[in-house]
């Protein structure tokens, strides 16, 4: 696999491939690579994105004196060596192995530590675990769009526990039957539904990104009270889907008009094509494996080793004010602020941004990150 063509990258950002990293050849973008001795920042993307999603903040961070690194994570883009088989090695996508990927990459680049690991969406989960388990390497952390509420707890006491209610049966039994997107993403059909979307991958991604952005005017999030079917059903359909619809059908109903597409300055069609070309080529299964590793619960026992541990390095949280991701797990943002992160320096909700905050409002994200980095 060749690195991303320089023609689609802003001047000052280059692409290259770093081999032999925990079984991967990692494709990464970097800025501020001129000269030696610069402190390092590591930027981790989420789903369905790529290292390319950081293109708008990399140069401002590099201009402040940093070597800025953004990899295509395991399962994504031009990084190779990962298992794309639904029946393949799901264990390679568990969070502690994703941390190992990033430790290997930073070491291969000659860094014993990075000044900050910065993660968006599912990349925020891997960034949080990087900071939790190796604070000596990842010296601060900025999380975007997905709050971190801490490692899974160990059960206290020996009293029999009341069986948890089946949230999926409850969602399906609603008057308008529903299903949760993370468990849909864990099904065998999800990859084919999206890679084989009748509208094509490019139009699918256009509608998906639009639906979760501030451009979709119905994105007016508020906290949910409980993890119950009735409360979760208040989420938009890209999180709690209609039971009979797949994701391609779900977002097709919200496809922006040609005029809206033309007006979308934060993701014009030629930039969207970088994503659609990648996902048409690779499919979505690599990214979907991250969801499967979470929803199966198979890897909770090794994560419970860290039960009670907190993120003690300086941290901050940034999200779009129109992003439902902040509230999709009731109470998560409060747990992050009050318990999971002991040195939280700020929670920032940015006007005019939905879920894709570093693409929708890159200038404000860059300003907040530089303010945080200067303070720590």
Whether residue 65 has pLDDT greater than 80: yes
Label residue 315 left, alpha or beta by phi (over 0 means left) and psi (-120 to 50 means alpha). beta
pLDDT in tens, 293-341: 999 999 999 999 999 999 999 999 999 999 999 999 999 999 999 999 9
Cα dihedral: 148, 133, 303, 226 (round 10): -10
3-class secondary-structure state, position 16? strand
- pLDDT exceeds 90 at position 162: no
Q: What's the mean per-residue pLDDT of the chain?
A: 96
Question: How many Å apart are CA 39 and CA 2, to the nearest integer?
Answer: 27
Residues 6+ apart with CB under 8 A from 198: 248, 252
Which residue from 283, 268, 347 is spatially nearest to 83, judged by alpha carbons? Answer: 283
For 215-263, how does the pLDDT look when each residue is reduced to its tens digit (9 = 90+)? 999 999 999 999 999 999 999 999 999 999 999 999 999 999 999 999 9
Spell out the residues 6+ positions from residue 346 whose beta carbon is closer than 8 angstroms to its own: 316, 317, 368, 372
DSSP 8-state class, residue 115 = S
Helices 362-375, 55-63: inter-axial angle, 10-degree rounding? 40
3-state secondary structure of 92: helix
Q: What is the pLDDT of residue 164?
A: 66
Round to whole Å and give the CA distance between 228 and 329: 10
CA distance 128 to 369: 16
What pLDDT is stored for residue 163 in this prediction?
Answer: 60
User: Quick one: pLDDT band at residue 165, thresholds 50, 70, 90?
Assistant: confident
All domains in the chain, ordered by first residue: 6-152+299-375 (3.40.50.1820), 167-287 (no CATH)
Tell me the C-alpha distance between 265 and 41, whole Å: 27
H or E segment at 367?
A: helix 362-375
pLDDT given for residue 157 in this prediction: 77
* Rounded Cα–Cα distance for residues 367 and 189 (Å): 41
Instruction: Give pLDDT, residue 358.
Output: 98
Give pLDDT tens digits for 168-210: 999 999 999 999 999 999 999 999 999 999 999 999 999 999 9
Contacts of 369 (CB under 8 A, 6+ apart): 57, 61, 116, 118, 142, 318
Residue 156, pLDDT score: 79
What phi and psi values does residue 68 have, to the nearest 5 degrees?
-105, 125
pLDDT, residue 375, reads 96
The per-residue DSSP string of 66-98 comes to -EEEEEPPTTSTT-BS----TTS-GGGGSHHHH
pLDDT-derived band at 134, boundaries 50, 70, 90 = very high
Q: What is the mean pLDDT of residues 151-163?
A: 75
Per the CB < 8 A criterion, the answer to whether 146 and 121 are in contact is yes
pLDDT in tens, 2-36: 999 999 999 999 999 999 999 999 999 999 999 88
Backbone angles phi, psi at 375, to 5 degrees: -70, -30
Whether the predicted pLDDT of 92 surpasses 70: yes
């Amino acid at each position: 696999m060749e690195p991303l063509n320089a023609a689609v990258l802003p001047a000052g950002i280059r692409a290259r491939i770093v081999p032999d990293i925990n079984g991967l050849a990692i494709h990464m973008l970097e800025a501020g690579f001129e000269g030696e001795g610069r402190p390092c920042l590591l930027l981790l993307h989420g789903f369905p994105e790529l290292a390319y999603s950081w293109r708008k903040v990399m140069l401002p961070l590099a201009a402040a004196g940093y070597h800025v690194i953004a990899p295509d994570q395991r399962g994504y883009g031009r990084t190779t060596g990962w298992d794309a088989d639904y029946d393949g090695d799901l264990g390679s996508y568990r969070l502690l192995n994703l941390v190992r990927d990033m430790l290997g990459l930073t070491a291969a680049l000659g860094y014993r530590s990075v000044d900050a690991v910065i993660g968006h969406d599912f990349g925020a989960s891997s960034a949080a675990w990087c900071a939790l388990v190796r604070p000596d390497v990842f010296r601060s952390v900025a999380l975007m769009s997905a709050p971190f509420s801490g490692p899974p707890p160990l059960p206290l006491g020996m009293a029999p526990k009341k069986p948890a209610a089946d949230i999926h049966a409850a969602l399906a039994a609603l008057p308008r039957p529903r299903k949760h997107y993370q468990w849909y993403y864990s099904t065998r059909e999800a990859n084919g539904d999206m890679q084989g979307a009748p509208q094509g991958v490019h139009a699918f991604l256009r509608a998906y990104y639009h639906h979760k952005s501030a451009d979709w005017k119905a994105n007016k999030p508020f906290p949910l009270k409980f993890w119950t079917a009735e409360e979760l059903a208040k989420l938009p359909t890209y999180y709690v889907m209609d039971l009979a619809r797949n994701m391609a059908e779900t977002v097709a109903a919200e496809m922006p008009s040609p005029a809206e597409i033309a007006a979308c300055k934060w993701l014009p069609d030629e930039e969207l094509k970088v994503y659609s070309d990648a996902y048409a080529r690779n499919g979505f299964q690599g990214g979907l494996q991250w969801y499967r590793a979470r929803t199966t619960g198979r890897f909770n026992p090794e994560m419970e080793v860290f039960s009670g541990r907190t993120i003690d390095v300086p941290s901050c949280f940034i999200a779009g004010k129109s992003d439902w991701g902040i509230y999709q797990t009731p109470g998560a943002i409060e747990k992050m602020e009050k318990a999971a992160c002991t040195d939280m320096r700020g929670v920032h909700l940015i006007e005019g941004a939905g879920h894709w905050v570093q693409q929708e409002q890159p200038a404000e994200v860059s300003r907040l990150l530089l303010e945080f980095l200067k303070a720590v």
